[in-house]
Each structure stands twice: as structure tokens, then as C-alpha cells.
Structure 1
Amino acid sequence: MNLNISNNNFWKIFLIRDYFLLWLSGLTTMLSMQLRIIATGFILYEITGSGLSLGMLGIIQLFFQLPSILYGGVLADFFKRTTIIVITQSIGTIIIFLLFYLSFIEVLNEWHIYIATALLSINSTIGGPARSALTANLVPKNLLINAVAANTATMQIGSVLAPILFGILTVSVGASYPLLIGSIAALISVITGILIKNDNYIKNKNKMSPLKNIIEGFIYVRKHPILPGLYLLDIGVTVVSFYRQIMPLIADRLFKGGAAVVSILTAFNSIGAIAGSFLVVFLSKVKSKGLLVLGATMIYGILLIFFGLSTSLFFGALVITLLGATDAIGMTVRQAIVQLTSPDHLRGRAVSLHSVAAMTANNIGHFEIGVTSELIGTRNALFVGGVISCIVVIIIWKAFKGVGTYKLEV
């Protein structure tokens, strides 16, 4: 790839045609997913009125995502990554449109939501490693951290637009219409994926069985000087602090609000994440990447304590903005380390194992905070989660010396 672009100008990565198409595909994918998550969570909570029912979504996702993501990594290393993206997004478009139709004719129930969540969990986790690994095929190595930061920001831009659209559409025409817009966004993602011309695909000649390929990926990650500690940090913190997909519960029990408050909190959280993603670009010359992740995660835990103590929507929105920023810094740097330190023939599996850690933590955390909220209250669940998060950071810092000392300059 002979691309002569200065890494001092972040925006020049969008002059790379195929990367721009991948970025646009990622934006519409995230918009589609967030609209579906917010809308189905809101509808489910309206149907059941239970935090436990929201927590069950996490268990369903965990059960179906774990095997899918491992094989998704193998597929990303052995097949054209653009083809995988197009196929999975096409399936997602159909499922989300069916959710809209069932809601529109007023027959959508909790079981429809659970089944769709299971199918979309399999679908998105198979396509995810291909999308992540493809980034490194489309941009020069010296621009990769900028591209990863842009990808992270893109995820959050979708997360900002989604609650705004959800709030406007739900208040004006009903909660089914965000699902219609979500299906249209997914269709756009299919089209942009088709338009990517050169994904620099190199046929992997490895003849091992899929299981042996997965094991090879595990061995690579296990021997890596920093990834095991980072993955455990992600799991340990997220399991006790994953609040995003119970926003209807938080809005109701902390701030006595409905769809409008869900939209405000979700949007401010995503705005913070966008800011955090771009901040990573300015921190790219910081050599101690592991220490950067530890610091951002410690601040995240402290902020979660303050979020649990929030008594006003203004203060809560401010804190959740900062939560989004610190979380994005940690996530972006982790993803960049995975891609920068992994060879192309292993990158899909390294990315998928990173996703396994993140998704496992997200889904267990989704269930844990839903159950804990029912047992000790939402406010106390957030406070305790913040305290435990800080303890986990200290344990990882002490137990995995490689995390604190690892240096990588890009």
C-alpha cells in the first residue's frame, strides 16, 4: 500500500476512498444497532416493567455471542472481509425490519425481542472481527491509531444520533419507527460495503481445522506481553459497571424520567466518547500505552461512583459524559495495541478474542447490574460497581507488571 499521507493530519485518513467507505459503513451499522438496542430495550421495559427482563438480554447475547465471535475471527482470517461484512449486514437489515413490522402491527412481545437479540448477536459477532481487521488492510501502519480512533468516534457518533432519533420518533410517531430507520441504516451499510474495491485480501494458506485455528489464536494472545492483562482488566471492570443497556432503568429510578431522559443520558455519554476518541489522537505519542489504559480506567471507576450519587439530571449528564470519554480512551488504545502488534494472518483471531473479552464482560455486566439494581437499588449498584472497578485496576497494575510498563510508540 503506497499511501503517502502525513500522520499529523487526522482528517486525511478520509481521503483514502476504501477506508472512507468502511467508515461510512461502520457509522450506519452503529446507528442501526443502537436504534435497535434502545428501541427494543424501551419496548421491553414498557411490556414488563422489570430490570431483570433487561438483564436477560445480556445473558442471551452472551450465550450466542461467545461461540460466534471465535469463529468470526477465523472467518476474518480466511475469507474476504468485505464479503463477510456485506452478508452479515444484509441479514441484520432483514431482522431489524421484521422487528419494525411486528411492532407496527402491535404484536411484538418479549419473546420476539429475545429471539431477535439472539439472532442479531450471532450475526453481528460473526461480522465484527472482519470489520475491525479490515481497517489495518486499508490504511498505512503509521495512520492506524488515527483510523482506530476514528472508528471508535464513529461508533459514538451513531450512539449520539440514535437516542436523538429515538426520542424524536418515539414521542412523535411511536417506538416502532426507530426500528424502521434502523433497518434503512443497515441497508446503507450493505451498499457501502459492496462499493469497497480493494481490501488488500491475501489468501490464508493455513490448512488447519477451525478449532486448531482458534487454539492458535489463544496461544498467540496468551504469550503476548500485554494483551492478557488488558483483557482481564476489561472483563473485571465491565462486569461490575456496564450501565449503557439499562438506560431505561437508570432514567426511571435515578431521574424519574422516560424516553426523553434515556435520550439525554445516552447522547451525552456518546458525546463524551467522541471527545475521548479524538483525545487519543493527541495522546498517540505517549509511549506508555498500558499506563494510559490503567489511568483512564481508574478515573472511569471514580466517575461511576459519582454517577451513582447523582441526584440531578444536569449533574448526571455531566458525569456520564466524562464516563464516555474515559471509557473511549481505554477502548481505543486497547484496540490499537491489538491491531498494531498482530500479524495479518492472526489479526482476525486476535481481534475476535479481544471482542470475546469485551462482549463477555458486557453481557455478564448487563445481567449483573440489572439483577443488582433489583436487589440493592440502581444507585447502590452503580456506586458499588465504581468501587470494585477501582480495586480491579489496582490488582491488574500489581499482578500484571507488563501492563504498566508496556511501551508502544506509533
Structure 2
Amino acid sequence: MSDASPVDQPTSPFAYVPYRLYWFARICSILALQMQIVATGWRIYDVSGSVMALGFVGLAEFLPSILLVLVTGHVADRFDRRRVINFCQGLEVTAMLVLWFALWDDNSAIWPAFIAVIILGTARAFEMPAAASLVPNLVPRAIFPRAVALNSTAWQGAAIVGPALGGLIYGLIGHWVFAVSAGLFAVAFTLVCFIRLAPRVRPEAVKKISLETLFAGFRFIWGKPIVLGAISMDLFAVLLGGATALLPVLAKDQFHAGPEMVGLLRASPSVGALATGLLLAFRPVRRRVGLTLYVSVAVFGICTIIFGSTASALVAGGALVVMGAVDMISVFIRQSLVQLETPDDMRGRVSAVSSLFIGASNQLGEFESGVTAHWWGASISVIVGGMGTLAIVALWCVLFPALRKVDRFPGAVERS
């Protein structure tokens, strides 16, 4: 997709057929993933009764990202990103089927479920950098921030429906929810197959695997303090402040509810994120980008403390809604900075490193939550995590002053 911006060029990403196909495929994938997360968490906790088991689910999904980070980005830059995404979606269908059979019987061992989660984590490790680096090829550069907002809106909209739907389907038909997830991944696979783009011209250096090309993403980010500060702050803030992995524990032991409550609470952050994403799609952040990022992460930490302190499911849900709203702002700013600062032939490797940070803040954060909840209890674990997020914001103000002073996105031209 050309970066040129003629006067008569459409300003909506939906005007471009490849982007529409990608967007709907993304919705199907996220629905499947979110349904799987709720069903897997509840099923494993219900069978094992162990919060540590929930933590190990997050660890099993995250490990492939860190072990394969040097390869996944190179694959996204060297091969057709659409075909990489297709292959990963095929693996995701396989993982759902393995989960379906692994958790079929209440008396069966749960270790095959962890193998399925590792397969899913491997697929996600390759898919995330390929998908993230594909988007700039689907729309012109001038409207890319709007595409980021719409992508995040797709994620959050499906994340609202997915957990609630996953909890509802699990309550009705149990482990058959994994078969439904497999079907959604198959639909996403089909939609991506229809995306048509002009062939990319890849530099010869990208085609050759070497230590230099494998570590290029790390070197690029290290040389861009603004990008490094943005993604590392997200890593540590959400690593400490993310507590959604403990929802099965809180719902069952504190709110005395079933999987339906887990689904509703899991969807709560996405309610705020969806509303914010729709707003950003039409009125994106244009000024004081860095300061807005810092404030958003700080509010996330404050709401995490409220979430861990309350005994009311209603107050907890409200705190999660606000957390989702400010997290959407953070995601919007971080993704726009990363993609607009990165040349196309480097986007796969840079996105792989960024995906590693995201995975660490989510899946590894789930492991951290499980371990600290085992030590201190779920409520104290969440409160301490929120306090840690606030400490990270304060520290990053000192370590990355250039990020705090960023006023506009580099090279993005937004038209009203």
C-alpha cells in the first residue's frame, strides 16, 4: 500500500477491501481466543482447584514468545505475512481441538491441556508480529493511526462478547466451547486467504538469516528511546498491575458466582476500551502524546488498587471498565509510535520484540498473579500489583523524559 496521500484518497480504513477482510478475520480470531481463555481458566481451576495451575497456563502460553522471538520477526519480514498468519491460524484450530479432547473428562489428567496451550502460544508468537506488521501495508500511512484505533476496537468489541459468550457456552455445553472456538479460527483462516496485495520487495539482507538480522529488532528499539520507553513501560506496568487471571478465584471464592460472572468481569475492561477505541478512531490523540501515555498508565494502576480492595462485584466491574479505557489509550499510542517509526522491511522483527513485551505483560503477568496470589491471597496480590504500576510510572518519568515530552506522532498526517 502506497504512503502517498492524494486529495481524493479515502480517509476511512474500511474503504480498502484488504483491510476489511483483515478486520473481520481479527474479530473471529479474538472471539475464539477470548472464549478459550475463559473456558480453559475455569475448567482447569474447577478440575484442579489450584491457583498455581492458572498461573502456569499463562506461563505455558508465554514461553514460546520469548523462546522464538528471534525467529518470529525474521519470518514475518522474510515470508508473505498473509501466509504466515494462515499457517498460525491452522495451528490455533489444532490447539482448540486438543483442548477439546484433553478436558473432555473431569477425571482425566490436565497436562495435555498445557500442551495445547503451548501450541496456541507458538502460533500466537508467529502470528502477532506478522499481523501487526501487515496493517501498514493495508492502508495509506496518513490514516494508519485510525487503522490502529479500529484494530483495537475490533479487539475490544470481540473481547466484550468473547468472554461472556465463552462463559455462557461453557455453562450450557461445557467443553464443547473449544469446538466453537476452532470453528471461528477456521473462519478467520478463510478470510485471510482472500486478502490480495502487491508483492513486497524485500531487501536481500532480510532474506539471509544471520545474527545481525535476528537481533536487528532489538538494536532498532534500543536506538529509539521513545519506542523503548513506551513498550517497556507497558511491559512492567501491566506485568505488575494485570490481575484478570485471578478472576476465576475472585468470582468463585469472593463473589460466590460461576463461570458466567467470570465472563462478565473479564469483558468489563473491554466495555471501556471499546468506547474509547471508537472515539479514537474518529478523534485520535494528536497533541501531548507522551504525557497522555503516562497519565493513562497511572490511572490503570489506581484502578487496579480499587479493583483489589473492593468486596463489591459492581465496584470491581466499574474499575475494570476504566482500566480498559485507559489501557486502550496506551495501546493506541504505543502501537502508533512503534509502527510509524519503523521501516517496512524491519516491521516484522520490531513487532516481534513488541509482541514479546505484550506477551510478557499479559501471559507472564498471569503467572506472576498466580504466584503472588498463592503467597498472599488474591486481593493483596492485586493491590500490591497496582502500587507497583504507579511506581513504574514514576520511575519511567525519570528514565525516559523524551517520551514524556513527545507532542505528536512522527510522520502521521491526520485530516479532519
Same fold (TM over 0.5): yes
Partner of 1:320: 320
CA offsets 1:41-86 (integer angstroms, 9 cap, x no match): 1110011111111011222223222122331111111111101011
Greater mean alpha carbon deviation, residues 207-216 or residues 267-276: 207-216
| Alignment partners' CA distance in 2, 1:203 and 1:221 | 20
Map 1:203-222 onto structure 2 (within 5 A).
Answer: 203-206=202-205, 207-222=207-222
Contact 1:247-1:262 within 8 A present in 2 as well = yes
Corresponding letter in the other structure for 1:228: L
The residue aligned with 1:185 is 184
1:6-405 equivalent positions in 2, closer than 5 A = 12-104=12-104, 109-174=109-174, 176-198=175-197, 200-206=199-205, 207-281=207-281, 284-405=284-405
Report the 3-state secondary structure (helix = DSSP H, G, I; strand = E; otherwise coil) of the residue aligned with 1:235. helix
Could you say if the C-alpha distance between residues 155 and 109 of structure 1 is closer, same or farther in structure 2, counting changes exceeding 3 Å? farther
Alpha-carbon contact 1:79-1:203 (below 8 Å) kept: no
Note the alpha carbon deviations across 1:376-398, whole angstroms, 9 max, x for none. 12111111111111111011011
Structure 1 position 7, deviation (Å): 9.1
8 Å contact kept, 1:71–1:210:
no
Amino acid in the other structure paired with 2:330: G
- SS in structure 1 of the partner of residue 225 of structure 2: coil
Q: What is the CA-CA distance between 1:133 and the residue it aligns to?
A: 0.5
Corresponding letter in the other structure for 1:367: F
* SS of residue matched to 1:209: coil
- Counterpart code for 1:386: G
Q: What is the one-letter code of the residue matched to 1:74?
A: H
Deviations 1:252-295 (Å, cap 9, x if unpaired)? 23322221210110122211121222333355353322211111
Query: Separation in 2 of the partners of 1:400 and 1:7?
Result: 37
Partner secondary structure for residue 204 of structure 2? coil
How far, CA to CA, are the matches of 2:163 and 2:114 in structure 1? Answer: 21
Counterpart-to-counterpart distance in 2, 1:105 and 1:26: 31
CA contact (8 A) 2:25 2:191 kept: yes
**In 2, are the aligned partners of 1:280 and 1:333 still within 8 Å (CA)?**
no
Q: Root-mean-square deviation (CA), in Å?
A: 2.0
Alpha-carbon separation, structure 2, partners of 1:5 and 1:93: 43
Q: 1:8 to 1:87 in 2, by over 3 A?
A: closer
Structure 1 residues 71 and 303: alpha-carbon distance in aligned structure 2, compared to 1, 3 A threshold? same
Contact 1:165 1:178 in 2 (8 A): no
Deviation at 1:200, TM superposition (A): 4.9
> What displacement does 1:104 show?
4.2
Aligned counterparts of 1:183 and 1:108: Cα–Cα separation in 2: 21
Task: Show CA shifts across 1:150-206 (max 9, x none).
Answer: 1111111221121222222122222x1211110000000110010001165223321
Q: Give the Cα–Cα distance (whole angstroms) in 2 for the partners of residues 238 and 154 of structure 1.
A: 21
Q: Percent of pairs identical after alignment?
A: 25
Letter in 2 for 1:264: L
Cα deviation digits, residues 310-367 of structure 1 (max 9, x gap): 2211111111111111111101210111111111011111111111112123233111
The question of whether the paired residues in 1 share the 8 Å contact of 2:82 and 2:195 is answered with yes
TM-score, normalized by length of structure 2? Answer: 0.92
* SS in structure 2 at match of 1:173: helix
Paired with 1:41 and 1:147, the residues of 2 have a C-alpha distance of 32
Q: Cα offset for 1:400?
A: 1.1
Structure 2 residue runs of 5 or longer lacking an equivalent are none
Q: 1:108 to 1:211 in 2, by over 3 A?
A: farther
CA change 1:237–1:308 in 2 (3 A) is: same
Matched residues, number: 407
Paired amino acid for 1:191: T
Contact 2:160-2:270 at 8 Å conserved across structures: yes
Q: Measure, in 2, the Cα distance between the counterparts of 1:199 and 1:262.
A: 44
The question of whether the paired residues in 1 share the 8 Å contact of 2:38 and 2:167 is answered with no
8 Å Cα contact 1:82-1:193 kept in structure 2? yes
Structure 1, gaps ≥5 residues long: none
Letter of the structure 2 residue corresponding to residue 139 of structure 1 = V
| SS of alignment partner, residue 406 of structure 1 | coil
- C-alpha separation in 1, matches of 2:184 and 2:210: 33
Alpha-carbon contact 1:136-1:144 (below 8 Å) kept: yes
**SS of residue matched to 1:197:** coil
**1:245 match: secondary structure:** helix
Distance 2:347 2:220 in 1: 10
Question: How far did 1:218 drift?
Answer: 1.3
Which range is displaced more, 367-376 or 184-193?
A: 367-376
1:29, distance to aligned residue in structure 2 (A): 1.0
Q: Which amino acid aligns with 1:198?
A: L
Quote the Cα distance in structure 2 between the aligned partners of 1:112 and 1:294: 41
The superposition leaves residues 24-46 of structure 1 with CA deviations (integer Å, 9 ceiling, x where unpaired) of 11111111111112111111001
Q: Are the counterparts in 2 of residues 77 and 204 from structure 1 also a CA contact under 8 Å?
A: no
Structure 1 residue 250, shift from structure 2 partner: 2.5
